[in-house]
Chains A and B, each alone.
Chain A
Amino acid sequence: MTAQALIHFPKKARRGEVIEIRTMISHPMETGFRRTQQGEPIPRNIITAFACRYNDVEVFRADLFPAMTANPFLSFHTVAAESGTLTFTWTGDDGFRVEERAKIEVG
């Protein structure tokens, strides 16, 4: 299954401006509480952690639990401190790991 992540934030910002970052990633977030029609438990398979690094400094981190919807959406803020690269990492069960990078221009 190819992971698809959607990341949205202004590509250019003024120094010191607070910007909103929206993220969404394709993932079933299987809770582990469901059972098949035969009664077999469906094993848990969720994203457990998300982190955003700004030029390699962590500026945001989240612990996710089964009560997060499938295809988790997360919006947060960060100060546009300097130009550089924002790195987004999702990790979870069964060795799930997706990393996406995007540039930001701060003037």
Chain B
Amino acid sequence: MTAFLRGAFSRLRGKKRPALAAAATFLLALPAVAADIPLPDRRSGYEFMGPDTRAMQDDDTQNPATLAVLEGEALWARKAGAAGRACADCHGDARESMKGAAARYPRFDDAGAGPIDLEGRIMQCRARRQEAPPLARESRELLALSAFVARQSRGLPVADAVAADARLAPFLERGRALFRRRQGQIALSCAQCHDDNWGKSLAGNAIPQAHPTGYPLYRLEWQSVGSLQRRLRNCMIGMRAEPYAYGAPEYLDLALYLAWRARGMAMEAPAVRP
């Protein structure tokens, strides 16, 4: 049995900014069970972009996220907090010490007894090791530091964190369930677009497979660098679902599942996306 979906509409009223919550004209046939994308068929969102956007990502002198990476590099060397420590004081040259680090996140955090993402780890180090005031999620400094650290993993394969640490298994299952759960006003799941209909056109752009290989990234829509959590919030708003608060465990479970789903694919951070 198939069902047909219709996107929600948005309305331009006077000078109020319009919002397009979902495409106005697309139809989806919904299979009964979502199936994983076969591993050899996985493609990065990079491959769904036009040549100009790809050129922006490929060239550090054109990639706006490079500004964030440079800022992160400066922050890495700067002493902070009551402990008067810089990241570099413990971690040395990031090009060495952080190589491959971002590719292993999310990973298990003993302190929280659950998955932690790269931003969360940086926030943790900042609080505990540097004894500095907290960095808020999506703050300029946190994005700069995570862009700088993630940049050191560019080209390296996303690790299978769950195979490396079985404690993550139940969180992976929660993430998988979230990805497949129908939610929001149009009862849509992530899987229905990103597993079952990737490559098809939605509101004029191709639906990507939703791999997190490029985060943090410069989204043309934002005109700034943003994290995976910010993008997931956009997804949920687009699906007409209530987004979780930043740092919510649901995002971590989802991020873990997305990273697992992208295991073996090359890291691209910081990427550019439309």
Question: Which residue of B15, B16, B62 is within 8 Å of A24 (Cβ)?
Answer: B62
Question: Which residue of A8, A22, A35, A71 is within 8 Å of B223 (Cβ)?
Answer: A71
Number of interface residues of A (CB under 8 A): 19
A22-B62 CB under 8 A given contacts A2-B71, A4-B70 = yes
- How many A-B Cβ pairs are below 8 Å? 40
CA distance A55 to B71 in the complex (A): 28
Q: Given the complex, which residues of B lie within 8 Å of A8, measured CB to CB?
A: 61
Q: Given the complex, which residues of B lie within 8 Å of A28, measured CB to CB?
A: 223-224
Flag if A24 contacts B224 (CB, 8 Å): no
Per-position contact with B for A64-97: 1 when CB-CB < 8 Å, else 0?
Answer: 0000011101000000000000000000000000
Flag if A26 contacts B67 (CB, 8 Å): yes
Q: Given the complex, which residues of B lie within 8 Å of A6, measured CB to CB?
A: 61, 66-67, 70
The answer to whether the Cβ of B64 comes within 8 Å of any Cβ in the partner chain is yes
Q: Given the complex, which residues of A lie within 8 Å of B16, measured CB to CB?
A: 35, 39
Seen from chain B, the residues whose Cβ lies within 8 Å of a Cβ on chain A are: 15-17, 61-62, 64, 66-67, 70-71, 140, 223-224
Q: Which 5 A-B pairs give the minimum distances between C-beta atoms?
A: A70-B223, A8-B61, A71-B64, A26-B67, A4-B67
Q: List 6 A-B contacts (CB under 8 A).
A: A4-B70, A22-B61, A24-B66, A26-B71, A35-B16, A39-B15
